[in-house]
Structures are given as structure tokens and as C-alpha cells.
Amino acid sequence: MTGSRRSAGRPGSCRSATRPAALAFATAQGVLERETARGGRRYLPDVGKVPSTPATRLLRERSVEYTEHIYRYEERGGTRVSARELGVDEHAVVKTLVMEDEQKAPLLVLMHGDREVSVKALARLLGKKTIQPCRPEVADRHTGYHVGGTSPFGTRRRMPVYLERSILDLPRIFVNGGSRGFLIGIAPADLVRVLEPTPVEVAIEG
């Protein structure tokens, strides 16, 4: 494989991690150690090349260290499939949700893969009447990505970003890199530095 390779090194400990976070740490650490030996990329057979996307270009411009992970995409498989294919805990796979308020103003919500967003709690927190997911075609217009391959980085339209606070407890997370079947591994601190999200507590059991 050609192209630049980035490796974030081994993640450090996180004393404030909850039990799911600790499990995610253990699995993410194992994957990262294997990646590092391969130059920071983890490839699975017959899934194609690592794409160049607005997300990865932005991260390179901002000198962010990240790892690249491609896997066999399954329609409607979501984070369950990506976590399984990468061999990491779904709690560490962070999904990017494109939502809108009652005035159709869009926003991004970053949530653990094994949790859902309480839209009622989020609406109360933001002082809105309602918050709901955007229709797929509307989400695509806002982000410039296709649903299933939506990254919070390099979106077409700048939108406010809300991050489930407990994501910050994880030493490493996996978010979409801007294409279906493509995730990037990144430290939460680097995500915060680039996106400047607002931490919220709106997670509910999936």
C-alpha cells in the first residue's frame, strides 16, 4: 500500500473511564497495537483502497494523528457491523447523526454506537421545541457525504456539534472517515480540538 501513514501510538490510561469505556479501551488498545506494527493502517481483505475524503484532508491540514480502517460495509449494519469488523467495542465507535430543530436548522450529534440520542432531552437542553433526525437526502446536502459514510470532519456546511460527554472518557474512538466502510481512529482530545463540540448528556440505552 502507498500513501502517507499515521499512527497515534499506544493510548494512555483513563482512570475516570466507566466499565464500558474500560472495555472499549482494552479492545481499542489491542487493535492499535496491531495497527502500529503495520504502519498505522488496518486493512481487511477485498474491501478496496483507503479513500481520500474532505475529512482526512482536513485532519492532515490540522496535523492530527489518526489511523485508517477500512472494512466490508453492510447496508443498515451501522456501528454494530463496523465494531465487529474492526474487532473493537461498539461503545468506542462513535456515530455522526445529522439532526434538525423545528426551524430546520441542522446540527450534528456524536454518540456512542451502542447508545441512542434522547431527542427530547436534547431539545430541552438547547431550548428548542423539537429535535429530530434529518431525512437522508437533507442530511447529504448539509454534510456533502452520503448517509452511512457521514463524517463530522470536513462537512459541506458548518453546523454546531454536540458530543455525548462520556465519549471524552475514552482514550481512543473510531469515527467515520467520510466514506462507507471507512473509519478513522482518533484521540477524543484531537476531535475536540478540531470540531470544538459542546458536551451534552443525552444518551439512552439503544
**126: helix, coil or strand?**
helix
Q: Does the residue 44 lie in any domain?
A: yes
Q: Does the residue 110 lie in any domain?
A: yes
Task: Give pLDDT tens digits for 152-185.
Answer: 999 999 999 999 999 999 999 999 999 999 999 9
Q: Does the residue 12 lie in any domain?
A: no
CATH number at residue 175: 3.90.960.10
Indicate the number of domains in the chain: 1
pTM, to two decimals: 0.79
Q: Does the residue 79 lie in any domain?
A: yes
Q: What share of the chain is helix, strand, coil (3-state, %, to 5)?
A: 35, 25, 45
The label of the residue with cell 462507507 reads 180
Alpha helices in 12-164 (DSSP H): 19-37, 54-61, 78-86, 119-126, 136-143
Q: Could you list the residue range(s) of the whole structural domain that residue 77 is in?
A: 19-205
Task: Give pLDDT tens digits for 12-23.
Answer: 323 233 334 444
pLDDT digit of tens for each residue in the chain (206 aa)? 333 334 333 333 232 333 344 444 444 444 444 443 333 444 343 456 788 999 999 999 999 999 999 999 999 899 999 999 999 999 999 999 999 999 999 999 999 999 999 999 999 999 999 999 999 999 999 999 999 999 999 999 999 999 999 999 999 999 999 999 999 999 999 999 999 999 999 999 97
What is the spatial distance between Cα 37 and Cα 12, in angstroms, rounded to a whole number?
18
Cα separation of the two ends of the chain: 38
Q: Does the residue 193 lie in any domain?
A: yes
What is the spatial distance between Cα 97 and Cα 107, in angstroms, rounded to a whole number?
8
Q: Does the residue 11 lie in any domain?
A: no
Nearest to 71 by CA among 41, 35, 45: 45
Q: Does the residue 4 lie in any domain?
A: no
Q: Does the residue 111 lie in any domain?
A: yes
